[in-house]
Amino acid sequence: MVQKIHNTSAKVISNEQIAADIFRLKLYNGKIASACKPGQFVHIQCGEGRNFILRRPFSIHRKNGGGAFEILFQVVGKGTKALSNIKPRDELGLIGPIGNGFVIDGEARNILLISGGLGIAPLIFLIDELMSEQRRICVLMGAASKEKLLYAIDLKRLVRKLHMATDDGSQGHQGPIIDLLPETIEELDPERIYACGPEGMLKRIAEITGEHNIPTQVCLERRMACGIGACLSCVCKTRQEEKEVLKRVCIDGPVFRAEDVIWEV
Amino acid sequence: MQNPIMTASGTFGSGREYVPFVNLNKLGALVVKSITLNERSGNPCPRICETPSGILNSIGLQNRGIKRFVEEELPFLSSFDVPLVVNIAGESVTEYAQVCAQLEDVEGISGIELNISCPNVKKGGMLFGQDPKVAVEIVSECKATTEIPLIVKLTPNTADNVTIAREVENAGADAISLINTLLGMAIDTVTFKPMLGSMTGGLSGPAIRPVAVRMVWEVARAVNIPVIGMGGINNARDAIEFFLVGAQAVAIGTANFIDPSATLSIVDELDNFLNEKGFKSIKEIIGQVKT
């Protein structure tokens, strides 16, 4: 089931620096805003085509009302550097919404979300959707430092439990957030787990949740070219009935069942 | 062909994914991603990276093999009214002919494009298209297997494409297309690792256009069969460079990643150009470079 992907543009509403090199970009495009689901992404042209051949994919971070939606990005290279300089009323070429999105189980009430770094971006959209039913949502959030634990204050208010970890120990547990997973599973006995972040973290999560048989969905990322499933740049190996099958992270993903992924890190 | 704009193999899949963005029936021709005799899983990721005015790719010819292509993709493609060119690749000379044999009895194929930029494992990985003798062998064997017109796609990673072009023409090639990608490499100075999982890859995009234009010019002057030009074409102006040096048609590849509807944008732009200049057809400018 493939949803329509639009080749279009969006007007910049605001571009706000929310941490050292992290920006929240609010965009207007009615079609994309109304159709998008948590876990999907948009494929953005960061500047003129001759300077930026490849678009950069960004998870949809939040659906605001009235045709607006947000993405989060960290400045890591040429494309994101260009994005950090765009202003309200600028126009950005983008393709979207792309991808399968997270599967939300109507029955499950006890949910755990795990994020590493900018992995929090699509999970906020997911939390917005999950909150609309009577669900017990707990979050494990890890980042390099206290400043990069985005939305810590909002999440503390919104969700049942929030545990944090930082590499430098400036907030919460010092070390990777994955250190807290085994005891969190003991404590909460979650029915569903959703995770997004560095692939090494996701692999460890898959191992632990696999041992406990907890249905877990992971949101992957890859460098992409076409972003629409044609060029085969963004593949990942998956297990399908004992066989190894290559899937395209752009349109077959970016969300996969953790147990299906053959990790290459 | 209703217009001289084709898709470049590898950038367009088998057209299916582009349907929301491009009316396939409006293309001059649809050239699909390389098919091989057997299924191939391709190279390790990362398979792509951006370079100044270009991209390096190392997909590794991932495809489901000719049998599944005929069973799964051809029925879909035959529902369109666009000339279909099947690009094929091989690990040996015989493989090319074997794939041609499987296409010979299939209806609705306008041409087979021979991707001879693959490494010849039997000769230490030298590209088929770097050796005139081997290129001729491939064309001869394929000609013997099929009546479908053969387009030979040349690689720029060679010193003398003029000789190779002449020899494949003599061997019976119906057309020549060029250029394929230039071999290249990029290193991540943060991790110290190559940007691509398989270390080296093929460079495409605007950065290679001058190389492509020069090679099309040299080859078009040397042969009588039609030449299809490609390499970094982003818009009609770029396409016109290729027509002026002798290309009868052009293929659009990397530009599809900038804009999925690039092919049809260029069809329209080219139409406008012809109207504005008072040309009745593109034929009036082919080969008209003033040297």
Among the partner-chain residues B49, B255, B260, the one whose CB lies closest to the CB of A228 is: B260
What's the mean pLDDT in B198-202?
95
What kind of fold does domain B5-43+60-183+203-284 have according to CATH? TIM Barrel (3.20.20)
User: Are A94 and A162 members of one domain?
Assistant: no
User: Are A55 and A148 members of one domain?
Assistant: no
CA-angle at A115, arms to A13 and A67, nearest 5°: 25
Query: Token digits for A180?
Result: 């807290």
Question: Could you tell me if A141 and A155 are in contact, meaning their C-beta atoms sit under 8 angstroms apart?
Answer: yes
User: Are A52 and A121 members of one domain?
Assistant: no
Among the partner-chain residues B11, B53, B259, the one whose CB lies closest to the CB of A231 is: B11
Tell me the β-bridge partners of A25.
Answer: A15, A71
Kindly give the parts of chain A with pLDDT less than 70: 1-2
User: Are A32 and A92 members of one domain?
Assistant: yes
Q: Do A236 and B53 touch (CB under 8 A)?
A: no
Q: Do B48 and A55 touch (CB under 8 A)?
A: no
Q: Model pTM?
A: 0.95
- Give the tens place of pLDDT for each residue, B40-69: 999 999 999 999 999 999 999 999 999 999
Question: Could you tell me if B237 and B277 are in contact, meaning their C-beta atoms sit under 8 angstroms apart?
Answer: no
Domain that residue A14 falls in? 6-98
Q: Work out whether strand A110-116 and strand A136-143 pair parallel, antiparallel, or are unpaired.
A: parallel
Q: Work out whether strand A243-248 and strand A235-240 pair parallel, antiparallel, or are unpaired.
A: antiparallel
Q: Quick one: pLDDT at residue B21?
A: 96
Q: Note the maximum CA span of chain B.
A: 55
Residue A163 φ/ψ, nearest 5 degrees: -115, 140
Return all residues near A114 (Cβ < 8 A) that are at least 6 apart. Answer: A139, A140, A141, A177, A178, A181, A193, A194, A195, A196, A197, A201, A205
Task: Tell me which of B45, B49, B100, B118 is the catalytic residue.
Answer: B118
User: Are A127 and A59 members of one domain?
Assistant: no
Q: Quick one: pLDDT at residue B128?
A: 87
Question: Could you tell me if A58 and A122 are in contact, meaning their C-beta atoms sit under 8 angstroms apart?
Answer: no
Answer with the one of A204, A220, A236 that is the final residue of a domain.
Answer: A220
Intra-chain end-to-end CA distance of chain B, in Å: 29
Q: Quick one: pLDDT at residue A2?
A: 60
- Give the tens place of pLDDT for each residue, B87-109: 999 999 999 999 999 999 899 99
Average pLDDT, chain B: 95
Other C-beta atoms closer than 10 Å to the C-beta of B219 total: 26
pLDDT category of residue B268 using cuts at 50, 70 and 90: very high
Checking if the pLDDT of B282 tops 70, the result is yes
Q: Do A232 and B62 touch (CB under 8 A)?
A: yes
Short-list B21, B7, B166, B146, CA closest to B87 = B7
- Helix and strand numbers (H, E) in chain A are 6, 16
- Give the tens place of pLDDT for each residue, B206-253: 999 999 999 999 999 999 999 999 999 999 999 999 999 999 999 999
What DSSP character marks residue B63?
B
Among the partner-chain residues A7, A223, A236, the one whose CB lies closest to the CB of B49 is: A223
User: Are A66 and A148 members of one domain?
Assistant: no
User: Are A89 and A120 members of one domain?
Assistant: no
User: Are A125 and A152 members of one domain?
Assistant: yes
Intra-chain end-to-end CA distance of chain A, in Å: 30
ipTM computed for the complex: 0.94
Answer with the one of A184, A204, A220 that is the final residue of a domain.
Answer: A220
Which residue of A233, A237, A246 to mutate against B (max B Cβ within 10 Å)?
A233
DSSP A63-93: E-STTEEEEEEE--SHHHHHHHT--TT-EEE
Strands ordered across the beta sheet of A22-28: A56-59, A41-44, A91-98, A6-19, A22-28, A68-74, A62-63
Q: Do B259 and A7 touch (CB under 8 A)?
A: yes
Other C-beta atoms closer than 10 Å to the C-beta of A264 total: 11
What DSSP character marks residue A175?
S
**A71: amino acid identity, one letter:** I
Alpha-carbon gap, residue A235 to A247, rounded angstroms: 5
Alpha-carbon gap, residue A98 to A4, rounded angstroms: 8
Cα distances from A238 to residues A19, A219, A247, A261, B221, in angstroms, run 35, 14, 7, 5, 50
A163 located within any domain:
yes
**Tokens 């299809």 appear where?**
B228
- Asked if B142 is an active-site residue, the reply is no
Alpha-carbon gap, residue B214 to A160, rounded angstroms: 66
What distance in Å separates residue B222's CA from the closest CA in chain A?
32
- Give the tens place of pLDDT for each residue, B134-144: 999 999 999 99
Other C-beta atoms closer than 10 Å to the C-beta of A109 total: 15
Q: Quick one: pLDDT at residue B129?
A: 86
Return all residues near A154 (Cβ < 8 A) that are at least 6 apart. Answer: none
Other C-beta atoms closer than 10 Å to the C-beta of B91 total: 18
Chain A residues within 8 A (CB-CB) of chain B?
4-5, 7, 45, 49-55, 78, 93, 95, 222-226, 228-236, 244, 246, 251, 264
Short-list B176, B243, B158, B239, CA closest to B206 = B239
Q: How many structural domains is chain A composed of?
A: 2
User: Are A66 and A127 members of one domain?
Assistant: no
Question: Residues of A with CB below 8 A from B259's CB?
Answer: 7, 49, 93
Cα distances from A199 to residues A196, A219, A261, in angstroms, run 8, 9, 11
Alpha-carbon gap, residue B103 to B97, rounded angstroms: 10
Q: Note the maximum CA span of chain A.
A: 53
Q: What is the CATH number of the domain that holds A31?
A: 2.40.30.10
Answer with the one of A49, A70, A98 that is the final residue of a domain.
Answer: A98
- Residue B208, classed as helix, strand or coil, is helix
A20 located within any domain:
yes
